[in-house]
Amino acid sequence: MSFVATFNSLPATELCRYAQNATAVDVETALGRPSLESFAALISPSADLEQLAKLAHATTLRHFGKVIRFYAPLYLSNECINICRYCGFSRDNPILRVTLTPEQVAAEARYLRTEGFRHILLVAGEHPHFVSNNFLRDCVAQLRPEWPSIALEVGPLETEDYRPIVDAGAEGLVIYQETYNREVYAAMHASGPKMNFDWRLETPERAYQAGFKRLGIGALLGLADWRSEAIAVAAHIQYLLKHCWRAQITVSVPRMRPAASEFQPLTQVTDRELVQFVCALRLTFPEVGIALSTRETATLRDGLIPLGVTMISAGSHTEPGGYTGQGRADLHLTKAGRRIESEGEHATVQFEIADNRSPAQVASKLNMMGYEPVWKDWDISLNG
């Protein structure tokens, strides 16, 4: 039975109501009893955030110690076949686009290596022509000799299509459901294969079948009520821990950032609520990895790290060629799948980042906070 069936039978309404109405006593009872119901209590307005933060910090320390793993996103392409109302790469946005060649990808990656990174996340829009399965495999193969850990965040594929990419050396797969609310999902995804909610929801399971060892999930916060998204994310984690038990499960809590779409978030998640979400995840799932990107400000990131975060990016660019200017000569607009020549300085970003510190600056701040920045925590020889 896939997660779709589990998801469909969740008592979502009851859990969401509990997440609003749980009492301080319910929260107290929930601590130390990992279940979806207790997770709902932990994200309720009655929870004492300082108490949650103290417990989450202690739990993180015990399980992960005083170390933070670094990773860097590398955008391969901002071509996309989907229309997603909130995304900078949406097909209908007249943005400067480019797809790097595997050699250009390697050049960008070499720059990231000099910055210290040994864990890389390859990101691309969904486009079967520009971002083909073979292209993804070739990019992974190109990086394999130099990179101990390679993960992907790309459009969902069939299990069989993932296998050659795993064989080429990819270890992790990140896929955000964006929103777990079916109605909002339908309203946000107007065209393209991404319209298929269930197909996307089952992606981590297909990736696991294909041999990926690390599965990352999350909801894009700003589309539906955050508490309902949090409960769905928690249910998804719970399912994956049971059914994909050999994989390391990681979760992200991305909040919407300004992008070319000029989309305004439909819902708000305050800093305080984001912190509560992270603490509740840590307390309910002590062993799950939590990734934090440069979508958040330096102040918030530094504050969140001790509460549950295990991996962070730094100095990120969210456009292909962003680190070294690769692909500049090939910038263009894309309309109805056709190139329209255009010029510019760089490709358009997916979203604006909020923490502009360099990796070295973030690492030095971590040292000051009593954390060891870990750049390499995997080895290519561990990949099947």
Partner 1 sequence: MAAVVDQNSPLRIAGREFRSRLIMGTGKFASGEQMAAALTASGAELVTVALRRADLTGGKDKFANILTFLDPKQYLLLPNTSGARTAEEACRLARLGREATGSAWLKLEIHPDPRYLLPDPIETMKAAEILVKDGFTVLPYINADPVLAKRLADAGCATVMPLGSPIGSARGLETRASLAIIIEQATVPVVVDAGLGAPSHAAAAMEMGADAVLINTAVAVAADPVRMAEAFKLAVAAGRTAFEIGLAPQHREADATSPLTGFLNQ
Q: Which is nearer to partner 1, 8 or 35 (CB)?
A: 35
241 binds partner 1 (CB under 8 A): yes
360 binds partner 1 (CB under 8 A): no
CA 300 vs CA 53, 59, 82, 157, 306: distances in Å: 14, 20, 32, 34, 11
Q: What angle do CA 160, 164, 169 make, to 5 degrees?
A: 135
Q: Which is nearer to partner 1, 183 or 245 (CB)?
A: 245
Among 17, 66, 110, 335, binds partner 1 (CB under 8 A): 66
239 binds partner 1 (CB under 8 A): no
Structural tokens at position 353: 């980042």
Q: Which stretch binds partner 1 (CB under 8 A): 158-166, 189-197, 243-251, 311-319?
A: 243-251
CA Rg value for the chain: 20
| CA separation for the pair 188, 195 (Å, rounded) | 9
65 binds partner 1 (CB under 8 A): yes
3-class DSSP state of 364: helix
The footprint of partner 1 on residues 244-263 (CB under 8 A) is: 245-249
The footprint of partner 1 on residues 7-46 (CB under 8 A) is: none
- β-partners of residue 341 are 332
Among 97, 118, 137, 200, binds partner 1 (CB under 8 A): 118
Is residue 48 within 8 Å of 24, Cβ to Cβ?
A: yes
Structural tokens at position 269: 């998640």
282 binds partner 1 (CB under 8 A): no
| CA separation for the pair 362, 372 (Å, rounded) | 11
Q: Which is nearer to partner 1, 245 or 341 (CB)?
A: 245
State the amino acid at position 52 in one-letter form.
L
Residues in the chain: 384
Q: Which stretch binds partner 1 (CB under 8 A): 31-39, 110-118, 256-264, 311-319?
A: 110-118
Interface map 317-356 toward partner 1 (x if CB under 8 A): ----------------------------------------
Among 73, 125, 148, 321, binds partner 1 (CB under 8 A): 148
Is residue 165 within 8 Å of 132, Cβ to Cβ?
A: no
Task: Residue 377: count other Cβ atoms within 10 Å of its Cβ.
Answer: 15
61 binds partner 1 (CB under 8 A): yes
Minimum distance from CB of 42 to partner 1 (Å)? Answer: 20
Helices (H), 189-288: 197-201, 203-210, 226-243, 271-284
The footprint of partner 1 on residues 157-216 (CB under 8 A) is: 213
5 binds partner 1 (CB under 8 A): no
Contact set with partner 1 (CB under 8 A): 61-67, 116-118, 148, 213, 241, 245-249, 287, 367, 370-372, 374-379, 381-384
